[in-house]
Structures are given as C-alpha cells and as structure tokens.
C-alpha cells in the first residue's frame, strides 16, 4: 500500500514536471475506468472478439477491422507547403493601451478588453517530422477571434522578409527545399537564390545570427512585418507595424548546442511550449506598434511598405498596445493546430491590411493552400470558426464539414427574401496609390551588422555563414563574399576563402576553435583558423591557407 501511494505521488510529480511525457498517464488519472464501450465510426458497439483477434474469423465481416483499416490509410493530409512543423496553443489578447484614435477595430475598443487567440509557431523550411532547432526563420501566427470575425497576423520572428516581389515566392520555396534529384537540402540552391536576390541578405543576416535558432518558441519575438493600413471611427488613416516581444525575454541557442539538442530531442520547442503551459507557466508577449501618418509615408526616405526593410525604431518608436497570453494547450493536436488555417486576408473593419504586393499575393495564396490541404469548407472546421460572431454567407455545400450549411436561408445575392446584406461604411475612402519599385540597398543590412549585433554575435554570425557556405560551390562563395563586402568591409576577409580546395576542412576545424580577440569579428575568425589549423594540416593545405593572408 505504501509503495502504491509512493508511486502515485511520483506520478503526480512527473505530470507537474513533464506534461508531454505524462499526458496519457494524466488521462488515466482523471478517468474512473474505461470511458465507454468501443464503437465503429457509425456508432455500433464492437464485440470483444472482433477487436482482439482475427484468427479463424471472417475479416470482411469484422466491422472493427474494416472501419479502422480504411480510416488509417486515409489519415494523412498534405502538410503545409511551408511551416509544416509547429507548436501551438490558445489564450487571450488584452488591450493595455488606448489606440482608438488610430484604429476602430472592435478588438482594440477598450483598455482591459480580452479577445480569445490561437497561436501557431513554426520553422519555415522544416518538414512535419523535422527538427525544431534547425537554423531557419520561424513563423509567428496569431488568430484573434473578434466580434467582427477572425483577424489573423501571420508573421515571422524576424522584422523583415526575404523579397518584395511575390513572383519570387515559388522560386524561393524551391531553393530552400530538397534538391529534386538528390532529395537532400542543397546549399548551392539556397546560396544561388540569396546571392541572385541580395535584398534577401538583410533577413538572412538575422537567420545566420543567433536569432536563427530561438531557444524554444516562448523566447522568440514576433513581427507582422507588413505595414498595415488602419482606420479610425472618423475615417482617418494610419499605417502601423505590429511587434510582439516575449515577456520571458529573447533567448537563442548556439549552433553547437542546437545540433546537440537536435539529436536528443527533435521536438524541443514544441515540447517546451506544451510543458510550460501544462505546468501553469503561461508565456506572454507584449504587443506594440510603430505608427506612420500619411505625411510620414509621403516623406519617408524609403518605401515603408517594402517588407525587406524595417521601419527604423528611432524614427517610429514602439507604442504599447496590449499583451497576449497562452494558457491552454490543444486537447487534440490535429484537430486544433494542424487544421488551423491562418490567412493575412482575415481582416476586420478598421484593419485594412498591407497595401504592398506581397500582402496582395498572400491574400490569395493561403486560401488556395487551405482549399487544397483542408478542403473548401476549411473555415467551418471548429478551430477556424469565428466564435464570437454568426457566419452568414451565400456559400453552400462542398466537401465536409458543412455544419448546418446555412440552413434554409436564401443562397443567392442580391435577393428579395431577407437574405444577409452587406453593411455600408460611410467613411470608406481610398487614399493612397502605392507604387513600389525594386528593393535594392544594403543600408539596413549594414545597420543591422554594425549597430544591432554585438562583437560576439558578429563573430558567431560569420561562423554560421561559413558553416553553410562551405557546402556551396566556389562561384557562389565568391558571389556571396562580394555581396557581404558591400554590407560591411569587415566581411572582405571572406574573399580569402575563395579558390581554396581545402576550404571545407578549414571551416570544420574552426567549429572547435578557441575564440580570438582581433578587431574585426571576421578577421578574428580567420586568424583563429590560422592558429588552430596551421600545425595540424598538410603542407599543401597550409600553403593554400597562407596565401590568403
Ligand atoms: C509572396 C509571399 C508569400 C506567399 C505566397 C506565402 C504563402 C504561404 C502559404 C501557401 C502557406 C501555407 C498555408 C497553409 O497551408 O495553411 C504559408 C504559411 C505561412 N506563411 Fe507565408 N507566404 C508569403 C509570405 C509570407 C510572409 C511575408 C510571412 C510573414 C510575415 C509569412 C508567414 C507565414 C506563416 C507564419 C505561415 C504558417 C501559418 C500557420 O501557422 O499555419 N509568409 N505561406
């Protein structure tokens, strides 16, 4: 009896520490015994013999076998093309500061007002079964279930995006994914894209910095990236960017640590989020906005709608707006997180979205992806239903779920028979014609390198870049070096890599090298190579190496 009590106490303690590992045990603890009689999907009770042994029985008549077998082989749906792997949770958003002078959206209408949210965090390239601690940007998607329907911010953990011409989306995705011949991720494809489209280097400097591997989702920031057009009750327009800063602090993993964790726990970030919430340690983020007036937009030195750029914080400081808290884990991952369908086109009155071309492309792409992945009625899946408002559309039928299929209401518009009618916004106006041109300068990338990264961070950035570039062909290495040199002259040291057939060994050696304290982060890294490797490598390598200096 004492042993039993002891084991129960240990089990209770384990649930407290490790809700992921103990989920099924906790289920048993909260139930009195089997939860009911097993049935087929059609609800018929299953007899013991049918469910336990097929020996000497007729399988075609075994409804348990037929039902479970035919369902199992249809269990998989297409994974998201990008952002396939994720952790997610539920909670609420609370307004802490008044922004009604900027935006009339009802979710911002009063300080203290709470709106339910669903959040999903995801690496971009990593596939559904992949590794959470991979070097990659992270998706940061939040669905606000408002009284005016769902408002989704489908952002990243970087404040800028890769390119501003949406035609590049397909090519960018292909270059990041597996080589179609080898089925292996290919640094040549990655570096070819990055160096042919240098506007991508601003974001990729961050991806190759410490920020490229957040220490779990709770410790990463989020950014809406696009400059959203918003409107207040009087019809006045402003332009804002959303920032989410984790109240837990920003924390990242070093490359070596991330590689070690990858072997031990590929689901590191997903587990961390679930366990934190399961233990009552609810993560939260402070939400702020940067604000531009129409005059600011007209007078800006650069295109404020260019998603490859940030709005400088000294010119457009953060203004607090609210906070969101995640306090509930999904009860069923597939139903509640896999089936979540975010879309930048999910906007509410007062928030008009981004006027830029990438935003325009996204209004179409997510809907199309979800039609394919979840079916045409994806918004009728419970987790996507606007829970605070009644849906009234003229859409009917299609693949399930259809819910009540809008019952007996008229199914065409306009009609004379009291079907739903659109509302009228008297203050609606189109105020700005946005004309965007090519994105091009390296100013912000240089700014990031010089002013936002510490000396140590710069040094690690170079190590990480080298680690990836070592696998790329020499032409691409040289092209990358030229571009990085424009970003900062420090990076000129890189050119010494080019043309050495032993570069891979050099770089691998550097992975274990002690730190060096020379002026420039990059030169420090190069000097370290020299010190560490000069003794150990063969003559021809040493000659090659020395001619760099
Ligand atoms: C031309 C530009 C873009 C296109 C065409 C595009 C398209 C897509 C598509 C098709 C998906 C999969 C959706 C699904 O299956 O549910 C996706 C997911 C996602 N995208 Fe984009 N995207 C673009 C740019 C961006 C940008 C600029 C951001 C960040 C600001 C972003 C953030 C995300 C996130 C977070 C997800 C995962 C959403 C989730 O958790 O379900 N994308 N994107």
| 32 shares a domain with 144 | no
Please choose from 77, 127, 139 the residue to mutate so as to test ligand 1's pocket, defined by most ligand atoms within 8 A of CB: 139
| 338 shares a domain with 239 | yes
Whether 25 is in a domain gets the answer yes
Q: Per DSSP, which regions of 473-526 are E strands?
A: none
Binding residues for heme: 366
Between the CA of 353 and the centroid of ligand 1 the distance, in Å, is 15
Q: What's the DSSP call for residue 212?
A: G
| 220 shares a domain with 335 | yes
433-447 residues labelled b (16+ CB within 10 A) or e (exposed): eeeeeebeebebbbe
Whether 186 is in a domain gets the answer no
φ, ψ for residue 357 (rounded to 5)?
-70, -35
Residue nearest to atom 28 of ligand 1 (CA): 155
Q: How far is CA 313 from the centre of its chain?
A: 23
| 507 shares a domain with 359 | no
| 539 shares a domain with 474 | yes
Whether 354 is in a domain gets the answer yes
Instruction: Evaluate: CB of 532 within 6 angstroms of ligand 1.
Output: no
Between the CA of 101 and the centroid of ligand 1 the distance, in Å, is 30
Residue nearest to atom 35 of ligand 1 (CA): 139
Instruction: Evaluate: CB of 225 within 6 angstroms of ligand 1.
Output: yes
Q: Tell me what pLDDT residue 241 has.
A: 98
Number of domains in the chain: 4
- The interface predicted TM-score of the complex, written ipTM, equals 0.95
Instruction: Evaluate: CB of 378 within 6 angstroms of ligand 1.
Output: no
Pull the structure tokens for residue 409.
């209401």
Smallest CA-to-CA distance from 350 within 66, 70, 146, 45 is with: 146
Please choose from 89, 154, 338, 374 the residue to mutate so as to test ligand 1's pocket, defined by most ligand atoms within 8 A of CB: 154
| 63 shares a domain with 51 | yes
Please choose from 167, 226, 366 the residue to mutate so as to test ligand 1's pocket, defined by most ligand atoms within 8 A of CB: 366
Last residue of a domain, one of 337, 364, 384: 384
Q: Tell me what pLDDT residue 528 has.
A: 39
| 113 shares a domain with 43 | no
Q: What is the DSSP string of 302-326?
A: S-TT-TTSPPPTTTS--EEEEEEEE
Residue-range definition of the domain harbouring residue 49:
38-75
Residues near 386 by Cβ (< 8 Å), separated by ≥ 6? Answer: 145, 146, 149, 150
Between the CA of 366 and the centroid of ligand 1 the distance, in Å, is 7
**Local confidence pLDDT in tens for the 549 residues of the chain:** 555 555 555 555 566 689 999 999 999 999 999 999 999 999 999 999 999 999 989 999 999 999 999 999 999 999 999 999 999 999 999 999 999 999 999 999 999 999 999 999 999 999 999 999 999 999 999 999 999 999 999 999 999 999 999 999 999 999 999 999 999 999 999 999 999 999 999 999 999 999 999 999 999 999 999 999 999 999 999 999 999 999 999 999 999 999 999 999 999 999 999 999 999 999 999 999 999 999 999 999 889 999 999 999 999 999 999 999 999 999 999 999 999 999 999 999 999 999 999 999 999 999 999 999 999 999 999 999 999 999 999 999 999 999 999 999 999 999 999 999 999 988 877 667 788 887 777 999 999 999 999 999 999 999 999 899 999 999 999 999 999 999 998 876 655 554 433 343 333 333 333 333 233 444 444 443 334 333 333 333 333 333 332
Smallest CA-to-CA distance from 52 within 42, 62, 37 is with: 62
Distance separating the N- and C-terminal Cα atoms of the chain = 75
| 373 shares a domain with 510 | no
Residue 88 CA, closest ligand 1 atom number: 40
Q: Tell me what pLDDT residue 511 has.
A: 35
| 541 shares a domain with 508 | yes
Residue 80 CA, closest ligand 1 atom number: 15
| 281 shares a domain with 311 | yes
Whether 207 is in a domain gets the answer no
């Amino acid at each position: 009896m004492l042993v039993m009590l002891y084991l129960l106490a240990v089990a209770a303690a384990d649930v407290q520490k490790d809700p992921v590992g103990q989920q099924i045990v906790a289920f048993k603890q909260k139930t009195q015994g089997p939860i009911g009689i097993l049935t087929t999907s059609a609800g018929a009770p299953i007899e013991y013999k049918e469910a336990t042994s097929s020996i000497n029985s007729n399988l075609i008549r075994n409804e348990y076998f037929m039902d479970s077998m035919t369902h199992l082989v249809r269990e998989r749906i297409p994974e998201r093309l990008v952002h396939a792997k994720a952790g997610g949770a539920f909670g609420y958003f609370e307004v802490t500061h008044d922004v009604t002078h900027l935006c009339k959206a009802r979710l911002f209408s009063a300080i203290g007002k709470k709106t339910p949210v669903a959040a999903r965090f995801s690496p971009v390239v990593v596939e559904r079964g992949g590794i959470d601690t991979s070097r990659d940007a992270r998706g940061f998607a939040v669905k606000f279930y408002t009284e005016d329907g769902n408002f989704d911010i489908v952002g990243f953990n970087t404040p800028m995006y890769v390119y501003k011409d949406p035609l590049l989306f397909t090519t960018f995705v292909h270059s990041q994914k597996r080589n179609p011949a080898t089925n292996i991720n290919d640094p040549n494809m990655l570096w070819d894209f990055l160096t042919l489209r240098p506007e991508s280097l601003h974001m990729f400097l961050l991806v190759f910095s410490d920020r490229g591997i957040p220490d779990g989702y709770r410790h990463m920031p989020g950014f809406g990236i696009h400059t959203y057009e918003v409107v207040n009750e009087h019809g006045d327009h402003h332009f804002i960017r959303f920032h989410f800063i984790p109240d837990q602090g920003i924390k990242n993993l070093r490359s070596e640590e991330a590689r070690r964790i990858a072997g031990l726990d590929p689901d590191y970030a997903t587990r961390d989020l679930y366990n934190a919430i399961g233990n009552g340690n609810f993560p939260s983020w402070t939400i702020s906005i940067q604000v531009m007036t129409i005059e600011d937009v007209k007078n800006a030195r650069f295109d404020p709608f260019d998603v490859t750029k940030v709005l400088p914080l000294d010119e457009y400081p953060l203004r607090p707006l609210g906070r969101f808290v995640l306090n509930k884990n999904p009860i069923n991952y597939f139903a509640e997180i896999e089936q979540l369908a975010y879309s930048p086109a999910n906007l509410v009155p007062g928030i008009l979205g981004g006027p830029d071309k990438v935003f325009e492309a996204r209004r179409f792409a997510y809907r199309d992806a979800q039609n394919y992945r979840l079916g045409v009625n994806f918004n009728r899946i419970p987790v996507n239903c606007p829970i605070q408002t009644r849906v009234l559309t003229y859409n009917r039928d299609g693949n399930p779920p259809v819910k009540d299929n809008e019952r007996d209401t008229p199914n065409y518009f306009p009609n004379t028979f009291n079907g739903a009618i659109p509302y009228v916004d008297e203050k609606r106006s189109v105020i700005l014609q946005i004309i965007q041109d090519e994105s091009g300068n390296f100013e912000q990338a240089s700014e990031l390198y010089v002013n936002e990264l510490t000396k140590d961070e710069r040094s690690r950035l170079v190590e990480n870049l080298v680690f990836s570039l070592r696998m790329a062909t020499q032409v691409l290495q040289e092209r990358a070096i030229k571009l990085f040199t424009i970003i900062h002259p420090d990076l000129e040291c890189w050119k010494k890599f080019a043309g050495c057939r032993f570069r891979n060994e050099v770089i691998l050696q550097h992975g274990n090298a002690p730190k060096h304290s020379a002026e420039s982060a990059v030169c420090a890294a190069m000097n370290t190579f020299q010190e560490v490797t000069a003794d150990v490598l063969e003559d021809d390598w040493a000659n090659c190496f020395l001619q760099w200096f």
